[in-house]
Amino acid sequence: MPKSPKTAASGSDVPEGTGSTEASDAAAIAKAEAEMAAFAAERDASVLRCRELLKAEDPAAGVFHAAEIFRLQQNKLRLEVEMEFRRKKINRIRLGMEETLPGIAGGLLI
């Protein structure tokens, strides 16, 4: 009598988790955390530069840095989104979810 998929999976002949998967998960998490740290440093530099430009503006003298400030604010938001994607990737790895599931694109469920 053939086993149903449910009973076949619970049999003792099915190998359990391997150490290489855990090692690759740990490496992926470490890589994502390193990327998050780099993004955070770049974001902090953008915020600092934006504050410097805001202080340097002088409306009475006609000195404005609106375009540069706007670009820096956009960059800050982009970096925060990248950091959020990495955080969600780490959570998916820790929960054992697969990256190749249909409907997941860069951390977003679509």
Q: Among positive and negative, which fits the CA dihedral 81, 87, 91, 97? A: positive
What confidence tier does 99 reach under pLDDT thresholds 50, 70, 90?
low
Q: Can you give the pLDDT at residue 6?
A: 45
Q: What percent of the chain has pLDDT over 70?
A: 71
In angstroms, rounded to a whole number, what is the distance separating the alpha carbons of residues 90 and 82?
A: 12
